[in-house]
Every structure is written in structure tokens, then in C-alpha cells.
Amino acid sequence: MAKVISQDTFDDVVKENVVEFSMSPSEAKEETIKQFEAQGINLANIIKDLSIDADTGRPIINETVDKLKSHIGEKSTDSAQLLNYLSVLEAECQKSLAHRVLAGKNGAHDALITLLEQLLAAEVLNEELLLKCLLAVNSLTNKQPDLFDAEALTVVLKLLALKDRTDVLCLTLQWMQKACLMHEMNRQNIMSTSALKIMKPLLGKDNGRLVRDLTAVFRFLVLDDDIRVEFGCAHEHARQIANEMLVPLVELLPAFEDVNILADLFLTLGTLAVRQELCTVIDDAGGLKLVFDIMSTNLEQVRLNREALKLLRALAGHDAVKAHIVQQGVAPIIKQLLENHLNNETIVSAALACITTLTLRVKEHSAAFFDTGIAEIIVESLRSHPKNKIVQRNGAWAIRNMVSRSRNQSESWLSYGIEDLLNAAMKEHPSVEQDIKAALRDLGCAVHLREEWTGKAEKKIAA
């Protein structure tokens, strides 16, 4: 087994080389690495690119954390010095995850939380220091959600109460996002507090930046990405957030023209619409008309329309809402999107998936799409992306759903050359062969259906 050493041991030797032998930081690190490798020591666990103080020989990140602790413990009033420490800590934490882990081990998180508590308790709030501290704690928490503890959550709730300070609120919300990522317990702890009630009034029509950070927090709270937890609460969190936020989110749609804000709102609505009754809430609030109007006004915007199509698919999980979507005229909009973005795989794939959902088992919906002349556009979409498996699969799904209860459409589809396209796609993408065969079967084409498994009876069954 290879011998290993700790980071402290490595840093002590670097320090000795700097102080005792007057080496430069780069020379000291190079010499230290040579010394240990010559002894057969594996340095894979060592951070070798730490910035070193040329005077003391210590890693700057360690020195900065120690100085920060001393400054906080002494309750010094030297704001300029404190700002400098926070700037250095933030810069060091942005270098790599290893730097952030080292800072966390040295107590940086506890120091920052203590500083935040002191700043919030002061008679006059020093917003400059508060913002710099929030930038540092954001950098430190990035991909280190385990650092976020009960004290941090208490500070977050106090920060969210500063309703008239947008910069502070946005950085606090970004901190919450980092704490939620890949950490189920943090999400559950946040949901168990009054955080939702505090955040709800912040959803205003005059601050798009704040709306984007708020909606991101809502989406992060319903993630299910923590492999350490067997069963998460993503569905329950989505239901709780939706009950509070769905209608306010729908009401925000006409207030903004920025396509990125609108795309975030669509994405959030689709993420929260996890139950049938929630789909009807969005419909009853006038959400469908607003979505259609925004799509029609921004036909060239790729991300906006991709999220809109995903939202429509989510809402179509309720049969009555699905009927309303088609009845209110979504078919011409989707046709126009396909025509405008024929060469864009993202939009084509999303549009075909949306058509698939909306036409599933409903003959009238299939007719509504077919009557727009969309069949030829779908065929052209498949012809334009022969190498894209998702496009070919989604196209096969859409065709199958449109013709399965409307066989009278088959002749038109075949006249556009769809049979040859699907047969070519089946050879190109064997993993979606069964999906393509289903479309060919319902089009009335010749399909070889292979029997995947046959059993052999031990005894013959009497006739």
C-alpha cells in the first residue's frame, strides 16, 4: 500500500522551505513535491496548487480563515480589513472544490455565519459587508451543501425578511439554491420553516431579477437528486409550493416581456404541476391563454418555447385541461414553431413530444392537428434530423398517436414518404425500433414483428 500524508504535513514542509531556506512559494512547492515523491509517498490527496504567502510560507486560504476568525472574535470595527479578508476567501473558494473543502475544514463556514449574525444584530446594517459576506458563503457552499446547518437556516430566514434590499435577497436565494442541490435533508429543513410564507410576498411584478432567483429556489426544493436518501419528499414539496405559489406565478406572466424571466416562469409552473388538480388551478387562472399569447409573440425564442411546450405536456396530464389546450388553438402555434425551427433539434423534439401527449387516445385532437397541415411538417422534421434518435422516436410516437384512431390519415402520411423515412430510422437507431414499428403498423405498412420470447411446454396441451 502506498504511503500517504495529510495536507497539514505537506503545508508544513512547504512553509519550512519558504521560511528556513528562503525559497519562493513556487520553488518551495516544487521542492516539497520532489521530496515526498522520492520517499514513495502518494500525493493524490494533496492540494498542490494552494496560493502561498511569500512571507510566512502558509497557504493564503488558511491564513485568511484564521484572520477572519480573529477579526470576528475581537469584534474589530475595521471594515476595510474585513472586506479584504472576505474578498480573498471568496476568490480562493472559487478556484476549486478542493479549496472550498479545505476552507470548510478550517472553520470558514462557522466564521461566516457568526459574522452574518453580528451584521444582522448591529444597530445600523452595513450592506457592503453583508453582501461581501454573502458572496463568500455562496462560494464556500457551492457543491458543499453539508455545510449548511440549522444556524445557517436561521440566518437565511432573517435575511429574507430584508424585503427592500434586492441584492441581499438575491444572494440569499442563491445560497439556498446551493444548499438544496443534492441534499434532501436541507430541502426538508427549509420546507419545515416559514420560508415559503416569507418568500411569497417577494414575488412582485416590478423585480424580474428577484423573480428568477425565487423560482429557481422553488425548483431546487423539488429536486430528487440525493443518492444518500432512499425516499425523498420531492412530490410533497412540489404540492406544498404549488398550493402557495401557482396562482401568483400565473399572474406574473403578463407582467414581463423578458424571455428569460418568462422561460423561468414556464419551467417552474411545469415543475410544480405534479397533480391533476394543480393542472386545473393553472387552467382556471387563465394560464393557457397567457401561455399561447406569449408563444405567439415570441415564436423565434428557442428556450422560451421549449419550456412552454414542456409546460403544456405537464398540464395535459389532466384530460379536461388537455382538451382545453387543443380547443383553444395550440395546433397552429405548434405547427408554426416547427416551421420556424425546422433545423433546431431541441424545438423539434419538444414539439413532437407535445403533439404525442396532446393526441394520445383522442381522435378529435388528432384531427385538429391534422387539419392544420402539420403532417407534412412532421415528415420534414424527421427528414431534417435522421441522425437524432430522440427526434426520430418522438416523431414515431406523434405519428402513431395521430393515426391510431384516425386511419383515414394514413394515405396522406404515406404520400409524404414517411414509410421510407421510418424504415431508414429503424436501421439507424435500433434501440427505438419498437417505437418506429408501432408507427408503421398503425400507418398500415408491412412490418415484421419479431416474437421476443417463446416458452416451451413440458407437456403437450390436449386439443
- Span 112-136, average pLDDT: 96
**pLDDT of residue 419 exceeding 90:** yes
Higher pLDDT, 446 or 371: 371
- Span 109-133, average pLDDT: 95
pLDDT band at 459 (very low <50, low <70, confident <90, very high): confident
The pLDDT, as a whole number, for residue 367 is: 97
Residue 188 lies in a domain: no
> Nearest Cα to 267, choosing from 227, 232, 219, 336?
219
Structural domain tally of the chain? 2
| C-alpha to C-alpha distance for 434 and 450, rounded to whole angstroms | 10
| C-alpha to C-alpha distance for 283 and 319, rounded to whole angstroms | 12
384: three-class secondary structure by DSSP: helix
Task: Compute the mean pLDDT over every residue in the chain, rounded to the nearest whole number.
Answer: 94
Across 10-19, 109-118, 196-205, 328-337, least confident range:
10-19
pLDDT band at 2 (very low <50, low <70, confident <90, very high): low
The pLDDT, as a whole number, for residue 224 is: 95
Which residue, 58, 82, 100, sits at the end of a domain?
58
Residue with cell 436561521: 154
Angle of the 302-315 helix axis to the 319-327 helix axis, nearest 10: 130
Residue 404 lies in a domain: yes
Rounded percentage of the chain residues whose pLDDT exceeds 90: 82
The dihedral of CA 16, 20, 25, 30: what is its sign? negative
222: three-class secondary structure by DSSP: coil
- Span 41-62, average pLDDT: 90
Instruction: Specify the pTM.
Output: 0.92
Across 44-53, 115-124, 303-312, least confident range:
44-53
* DSSP letters spanning 419-435: HHHHHHHHHH-GGGHHH
Rounded percentage of the chain residues whose pLDDT exceeds 70: 97
189: three-class secondary structure by DSSP: helix
pLDDT band at 463 (very low <50, low <70, confident <90, very high): low
- Span 151-157, average pLDDT: 98
The pLDDT, as a whole number, for residue 461 is: 61
Render pLDDT for 354-391 as a digit per residue (tens, 0 to 9): 999 999 999 999 999 999 999 999 999 999 999 999 99
Secondary structure letter of residue 460 according to DSSP: P
- Span 27-47, average pLDDT: 87
Higher pLDDT, 55 or 61: 61
Residue 96 lies in a domain: no
**pLDDT of residue 108 exceeding 80:** yes
Residue 428 lies in a domain: yes
pLDDT band at 112 (very low <50, low <70, confident <90, very high): very high
**pLDDT of residue 1 exceeding 70:** no
Residue with cell 414499428: 437
Q: What count of other Cβ atoms lies within 10 Å of the Cβ of residue 16?
A: 15
Cα of 223 vs its chain's centroid, Å = 8
Across 27-36, 103-112, 210-219, 378-387, least confident range:
27-36
41: three-class secondary structure by DSSP: strand
Residue 266 lies in a domain: no
Cα separations (Å) of 398 from 34, 357, 369, 391, 392? 63, 8, 11, 10, 10
pLDDT band at 462 (very low <50, low <70, confident <90, very high): low
Render pLDDT for 191-201 as a digit per residue (tens, 0 to 9): 999 999 999 99
Residue 200 lies in a domain: no
Question: Looking at this protein, which amino acid is placed at residue 175?
Answer: W
Q: How many residues does this entry show for the chain?
A: 463
**pLDDT of residue 451 exceeding 70:** no
CA angle 127, 129, 131 (to 5 degrees): 65
Residue 419 lies in a domain: yes
Domain holding 352: CATH number? 1.25.10.10
Residue 49 lies in a domain: yes
Q: What is the residue range of 409's domain?
A: 329-447
